[in-house]
Amino acid sequence: MSNIRYAVLIIGALSLLLGLSLGQIYFQHQRIEQLEFNRFRSSVNVPQAAPHTCHPRNRCTHDLSRFFDGHRESMERARVEAFRKRQREMTIQVDEVEKRLQKAIRRYNKEVELWESNHTWKSTKNGLYRFED
């Protein structure tokens, strides 16, 4: 009798652990869906749609499958176009920054040349250099 009692307790404990584990998995699944929704709701990077399979159990028609495929392709084209547009914008911004940097370097070099032409350098006894006005 005591062996049956222990077996029932062990089975009950394992059932409780299984239930807790399933609850944790369900909670994590909901949290992941919530995070994906919050992340991709306003983003250009729309997550890839799962491939639609036509399983007899789903009673999926050929037209519906074609509709989903066309919709997925149009979403992919829109995503790629948005990515390329953003890439072009970034390239233009980088080019503008490079031009401003080149102008600043040229101005700096002119200032250095002007300063050097107005000052004379002499060597001191210990080898250091100083300028005189």
What are the structural domain ranges in the chain?
1-43, 45-118
Q: What is the mean pLDDT of the chain?
A: 78
In the block, which residue shows the tokens 């992340």? 39
Q: CA-to-CA distance for 85 and 89, rounded, in angstroms?
A: 6
Reading the chain (133 residues) residue by residue, the pLDDT tens digits are: 678 888 888 899 998 888 888 889 888 888 888 887 776 665 555 555 555 555 555 556 666 777 888 888 899 899 889 888 988 888 888 889 899 999 999 999 888 888 777 766 655 666 656 555 5
